Structure 1
Amino acid sequence: MEWVAPVGVKLESEGTRKNSTLICAPLMADSVDQMVKYMEKAKLSGADLVEVRLDSLKSFYPGQDIQTLIKRCPLPTLFNYRPKWEGGLYDGDENSRLNVLQLAMELGADYIDVELQVADQFNSSMLNKKPAKCKFIVSSHNYQSTPSLEELGNLVARIQAAGADIVKIATTAVDVTDVARVFQIIVHCQVRGVPTIGLVMGERGLMSRILCPKFGGYLTFGSLESGKVSAPGQPTIDDLVNLYNFRQIGPDTKVFGVIGKPVSHSKSPALYNEAFKRVGFNGVYLHFLVDSVANFLQTYSSVDFVGFSIGIPHKEAAVMCCNEVDPVAKSIGAVNCIIRNSSDRKFFGYNTDYVGAITAIENALRGLNHTSGSLPSPLADKLFVVTGAGGAGKALAYGAKQKGARVVIANRTYDRAKELADTVGGDALSLADLDGFHPEDGMILANTTSIGMQPKIDETPINKEALTPYTLVFDAVYTPKITRLLREAEESGSKIVSGTEMFVGQAYEQFERFTGLPAPKELFRKIMARY
């Protein structure tokens, strides 16, 4: 079935837009005047239509207010009067609520949304008088989970049987793999010519809202402002259009992303998506909140899911998920980049962390000593203290040892510190003992833990008084750019290197592995300078 733009929706020229999936701005306001202001803002933000949430209005005079909203809206309108029993705010008489939606339809609404539970009742009351212009969305919301594929298929059949012009299902992601079932339903519906809105709520469901154009979703929702959402996990219109290049996503768009827990703090999507756009590469890069890397990779087995950055705490577990691991990554025992081979779908694991971090630390030390990049490394024979024994800690310890440094591992759990120290040929101590550890001056400190990362920005792995013996302090955390550790280290006279340097350095190789193109290094630095 060929897609036709709804009445009143003007799409950008074919050269600037690769999909027909609409962006709808859900509007929740106390008054009609405020709702009209939001309508203007939605148009300026780039929305294709607005969802008028009548249940959010504090005072409401249906005949007068609906006519005003339709007349003054610069975009097509979707009217929704969501009851509390379906996650909305309306708590009044059901017949009155349905009469209001019927009135909106008669007065010129482009769409109305009615819940599956009352769709038959609504249809009966209309007596086949629905205006041809208005599209009837029948919706179902599950705020607890995402049902099985079979259950979702049966749900779609019930919604269609209720007379829907457009099917809408919204579920909740308990795990990121839940989204795959909704994608399957959307594709199945598209093949059958059934316009479908399929969204998965919550942070784990974010990709459903961004990748719906790839799978043929009818529309997605984007809020006007961050935090002011009508459903959990909703991105802003600005993020959809400008961060994720939503208009450019099509069936053949390659999918990349950062796998982590937590992961929303990562600036990787901002970096890669702008770079993809600048070089003309047809890809999109997302946040993936993942509990099990193995389950994620097994579920998203399509060749279009082709490359992943691996973040905390999955770098060590990712090694076991790869069919082949680069010798350096194998020696480190941690992977921060996975590439899927397009021909045989095998996963290849790499580690680019150690190159980015060690290079940044060496460059900073050379600047202190006014030396060039000639051998030996300025790390040679330095006492190099690594806090954390996870994937990033292993990478830094390995890199420092390769450069001739004497390595000490400090970790919350001493046994893990000892295990890593024995592997690289170094010493170990518990993180609690680090404050009293100062055998010599001129030491290097590299924090690879998440201590001090947003939102816990007041934390630090070591007291300020214990920082004096360190010539240089590096922090792998880059949100915020200057952590408490770095701020106090600089105040104590140490040279500091932020995690941004490591982030940018390791991203060069990842970009090239993702795209097969040279990394736009200057562009990367300009992008990260904004944060």
Structure 2
Amino acid sequence: MASKSSVLVCTTLQCETMEEMVKSMEKAKMEGADLVELRIDSMCFSHISDVAKLIKQRPLPVIICVRLKSSGILHRGDVKKTCIEVLGLALELDADFVEVELEVASDFAMVQYINKRSASKIIVSSYVHGGIPSKEDFSHLVACLQSTGADIIKLFTDVVYITDLAQVFHLLSHCQVPLIACAMGDRGLISQLLCPKFGGFLVYGSLRSEAVPGLATLVSLRQVYNIEYINVDTKVFGLIANPVGHSKGPILHNPAFRHAGFNGIYLPMLVDDIREFFRVYSYPDFAGFSVGIPHKEAAVGCCDEVHPLAKSIGAVNTIIRRPSDGKLVGYNTDSEASITAMEDALKERKVANLESSHTSPLAGKLFVLVGAGGAGRALAFGAKSRGARVVIFNRHYERAKALALSVSGEALPYEDLERFRPEEGMILANATSVGMQPNTNQTPIPKGALGAYELVFDSVYTPRNTRLLQEAEAAGAIVVSGVEMFIRQAIGQFNLFTGEAPEEFMRKIVLEQF
């Protein structure tokens, strides 16, 4: 296990009353916060003495923060004067940290309070709107923040693309004073999860009951990401996809890293442009990646080398940065994972009359595939390798036709899927995202058409038991969940990431967590 980092875990609390604020502080402490940021501007109170009571009742260290642009106490009267009055009181009462916005920090009255403080640490902050600024503008802003004499500086930024965060990581690594940096939105999530690696002062999380885009919960920071053990030597792995919020990869790979004693972290990475992602994040410690929808085919062109199976499929779901030379090497663990899951399900039910133990139960079967993207290509080539006859349906017929040509199969118009029933005992495989959370009531094929299928496989694994699988089981088919494929492909990926996967441990986690 890696040594502990000094990073602090914090959550922001915005409550209307003092009672709610105290209750939320207790909850944050219970969920793993080291300190809390109290947004005093969100509160409604009759007198400033209420703030004093709040500070004295704190059950854990606090950052006292008042935003000038707020909707609480500061919506009337002299906003700046009230702000300085509250912050000054916090300094007099030795609040652990007091956050002062850059435009307030130079005010004469505020400077007087700061100079007279005894124990409080001063955080000077700035919110950068409109995306990440240029390097020059960023450097200038940091210099302005530092010039205030702050103990700690803080930057909040908007993020348009995940690649924008490279500048944030550079700042964290090179700043001369402790820095808090938080990039907002789903694409900014890794700015917090990698904060300890790049030397940030604290990590923000949210309470379980208050989900915030771009923030992990306090509980997941502690229990899933083990944030206190992330340090400069931690190897970074993650899922490159869009969307990425549904991914269960972090709750599998991160505990597996810890179980194996490997200093790594696995992150959800919402990526819009995969080529640009690899161009920007060429760091040696960005060591390996899972590749999800819609990037599996484009990922082939991002690799310096591609494994023959992945090359023939034309889709990569795993990329490793080879330590010896930094080259990106692409693999496909989806194909074997899905095909062996179906084969084992057929063998277990003893529905296949095998000529020999070396013959696949898929041999000679009509394999009906829905979807011609990266996952579909993996399934098509896997089925072909086992001797199945492949028929492909896809909303874009030309894609289905191109894939069918690659596997000597047949492509048919998507609208014919419901009526397609040339024989009994077929295999159906869904390789689309239809039925994935949150659209769990959707299915790629009506239940009335499922009677002809001996086995139905769904690559969707959130939820574990999709509507397609529920209706297929009711129709008498053997069903194979995408969870089983997920387990097998993840074990294959982990082997590539570290050299050896703790298979029993990983399977146990998936079956408990999904």
Does TM-score exceed 0.5, indicating one fold?
yes
User: TM-score if structure 1 supplies the norm length?
Assistant: 0.93
- Pick from 214, 219, 231 the counterpart of residue 233 of structure 1: 214
1:60–1:333 distance in 2 versus 1, CA, 3 Å: farther
- Asked whether the equivalents of residues 105 and 134 of structure 1 are also in contact (C-alpha less than 8 Å), the reply is yes
Q: Following TM superposition, by how much is the alpha carbon of 1:510 offset from its aligned partner in structure 2, in angstroms?
A: 0.7
1:335–1:122 distance in 2 versus 1, CA, 3 Å: farther
Tell me how far apart the structure 2 counterparts of residues 266 and 357 of structure 1 sit (CA, whole Å): 18
- Asked whether the equivalents of residues 91 and 114 of structure 2 are also in contact (C-alpha less than 8 Å), the reply is no
CA offset digits 1:289-321 (Å, max 9, x no partner): 000111111111111000000000100000000
CA offset digits 1:129-174 (Å, max 9, x no partner): 3313111111111243111222111110011122322110111110
In structure 2, what is the equivalent of residue 213 of structure 1? 196
Q: Which amino acid aligns with 1:141?
A: Y
Residue 503 of structure 2 is aligned to residue 528 of structure 1 = no
Q: Following TM superposition, by how much is the alpha carbon of 1:17 offset from its aligned partner in structure 2, in angstroms?
A: 5.5
Q: Which amino acid aligns with 2:480?
A: V
- Structure 1 SS opposite 2:107: helix
- Asked whether the equivalents of residues 24 and 51 of structure 1 are also in contact (C-alpha less than 8 Å), the reply is yes
Q: Following TM superposition, by how much is the alpha carbon of 1:42 offset from its aligned partner in structure 2, in angstroms?
A: 1.9
- Pick from 50, 56, 75 the counterpart of residue 60 of structure 2: 75
Tell me how far apart the structure 2 counterparts of residues 484 and 205 of structure 1 sit (CA, whole Å): 33
CA offset digits 1:35-73 (Å, max 9, x no partner): 11122222222211111111221335212x222222221
- Asked whether the equivalents of residues 316 and 334 of structure 1 are also in contact (C-alpha less than 8 Å), the reply is yes
1:450–1:342 distance in 2 versus 1, CA, 3 Å: same
Tell me how far apart the structure 1 counterparts of residues 48 and 261 of structure 2 sit (CA, whole Å): 49
- Pick from 52, 55, 70 the counterpart of residue 41 of structure 2: 55
- Structure 2 SS opposite 1:369: coil
Q: Following TM superposition, by how much is the alpha carbon of 1:375 offset from its aligned partner in structure 2, in angstroms?
A: 1.8
- Asked whether the equivalents of residues 474 and 499 of structure 1 are also in contact (C-alpha less than 8 Å), the reply is yes
- Asked whether the equivalents of residues 80 and 104 of structure 2 are also in contact (C-alpha less than 8 Å), the reply is no
- Asked whether the equivalents of residues 83 and 89 of structure 1 are also in contact (C-alpha less than 8 Å), the reply is no
- Structure 1 SS opposite 2:233: coil
- Pick from 140, 144, 154 the counterpart of residue 168 of structure 1: 154
In structure 2, what is the equivalent of residue 91 of structure 1? 75
Residue 335 of structure 2 is aligned to residue 379 of structure 1 = no
- Structure 1 SS opposite 2:115: coil
- Structure 2 SS opposite 1:167: strand
Tell me how far apart the structure 2 counterparts of residues 438 and 307 of structure 1 sit (CA, whole Å): 43
Aligned residues: percent identity? 54
CA offset digits 1:452-475 (Å, max 9, x no partner): 101111111111111110010000
Q: How does 1:79-478 map to 2 (within 5 A)?
A: 79-84=64-69, 90-92=74-76, 93-121=79-107, 124-126=110-112, 129-189=115-175, 192=176, 194-229=177-212, 232-369=213-350, 374-478=357-461
Tell me how far apart the structure 1 counterparts of residues 54 and 294 of structure 2 sit (CA, whole Å): 49
1:115–1:126 distance in 2 versus 1, CA, 3 Å: same
- Asked whether the equivalents of residues 444 and 472 of structure 1 are also in contact (C-alpha less than 8 Å), the reply is yes
- Structure 1 SS opposite 2:86: helix
Q: Following TM superposition, by how much is the alpha carbon of 1:494 offset from its aligned partner in structure 2, in angstroms?
A: 0.9
- Asked whether the equivalents of residues 451 and 476 of structure 2 are also in contact (C-alpha less than 8 Å), the reply is yes
- Asked whether the equivalents of residues 79 and 101 of structure 1 are also in contact (C-alpha less than 8 Å), the reply is yes
Q: Which amino acid aligns with 1:217?
A: G
Q: Following TM superposition, by how much is the alpha carbon of 1:128 offset from its aligned partner in structure 2, in angstroms?
A: 5.2
1:493–1:269 distance in 2 versus 1, CA, 3 Å: same
Q: Which amino acid aligns with 1:104?
A: A
CA offset digits 1:57-93 (Å, max 9, x no partner): 1335212x222222221211110112327x9884232
In structure 2, what is the equivalent of residue 12 of structure 1? none
1:474–1:235 distance in 2 versus 1, CA, 3 Å: same
1:523–1:309 distance in 2 versus 1, CA, 3 Å: same
- Structure 1 SS opposite 2:124: strand
Q: Following TM superposition, by how much is the alpha carbon of 1:223 offset from its aligned partner in structure 2, in angstroms?
A: 1.5
Tell me how far apart the structure 2 counterparts of residues 102 and 72 of structure 1 sit (CA, whole Å): 18
1:236–1:122 distance in 2 versus 1, CA, 3 Å: farther
Q: Which amino acid aligns with 1:91?
A: H
Q: Which amino acid aligns with 1:78?
A: I
C-alpha RMSD of the superposition: 1.7
Tell me how far apart the structure 2 counterparts of residues 398 and 89 of structure 1 sit (CA, whole Å): 64
In structure 2, what is the equivalent of residue 10 of structure 1? none
Tell me how far apart the structure 2 counterparts of residues 17 and 31 of structure 1 sit (CA, whole Å): 40
* Structure 1 runs (4+) greater than 6 angstroms displaced: none
- Asked whether the equivalents of residues 391 and 412 of structure 2 are also in contact (C-alpha less than 8 Å), the reply is yes
Tell me how far apart the structure 2 counterparts of residues 137 and 287 of structure 1 sit (CA, whole Å): 30
